[in-house]
Amino acid sequence: MCRLRIIDLSYTISSDMIVYPDTEQPSFQWIGRVDPDGFNLTRVTMLVHTGTHVDAPKHFFDNVPCIDEIAPDHFFGPCKLFRYSKKPASQEITLEEVRRSGFNLKQGDIFLMATGIEAFAGAREYNLLYPFPSEELIRWLISKKIKAYMTDATSVDPVDTESSPKHQLLLGAGVPIVENLCNLDQLPEDKSFIICALPLKLGGREGAPCRAVALPDIEIL
């Protein structure tokens, strides 16, 4: 029997995990225990943008789709990964750099950016040094009608941004963003593969946590 490899791309949500600057860590509270209640039951309090999560257009706009209104096929399907080769230093990744590498993707693919920041996961630098896409690169990706923009970085805008223009470009074009992915070093660069990052279906909300996985061995025709 052929075993199907499934690569987990999600960080574990825990009370001591690193979170975006000036936001709170999740908290867990037992409200039922086997002894004496006969069952275990947990209350979780956290921001919807904690850990591996999805940003919907509602994150920066009103009168646009909320997370529960985005079709699931935006988060599931053929994906192409671009692996940035420079050491993370809070720099902009340009369209020229992407094209010079020979990278391309088909219309309607999911785009996955490996910035290399995962090497700093759990450290302060994780939220400070991540590279981010240039406006020109984002516009090119939008022209390719990508279904989603996914990345190992904690944001598509630099940490000191005030207006979040990269978020607004992508979300304004109806492209959801998946942030804080991990284990991208286990994924191929030379071929498309299947990715899945389905968010929780939170009614009327601007984002949601997700459990992201990749199936790197399924052949894409």
Distance CA 142, CA 169 (A): 9
Distance CA 81, CA 91 (A): 19
Give a yes or no: residue 203 inside a domain: yes
Q: What is the pLDDT along the chain (221 residues), one digit of tens a residue?
A: 567 899 999 999 999 999 999 999 999 999 999 999 999 999 999 999 999 999 999 999 999 999 999 999 999 999 999 999 999 999 999 999 999 999 999 999 999 999 999 999 999 999 999 999 999 999 999 999 999 999 999 999 999 998 999 999 999 999 999 999 999 999 999 899 999 999 999 999 999 999 999 999 987 76
Quickly tell me which residue has 């022209």 as its tokens. 143
Give a yes or no: residue 54 inside a domain: yes
CATH of the domain at 132: 3.50.30.50
Give a yes or no: residue 31 inside a domain: no
Query: Per the structure, how many domains does the chain have?
Result: 1
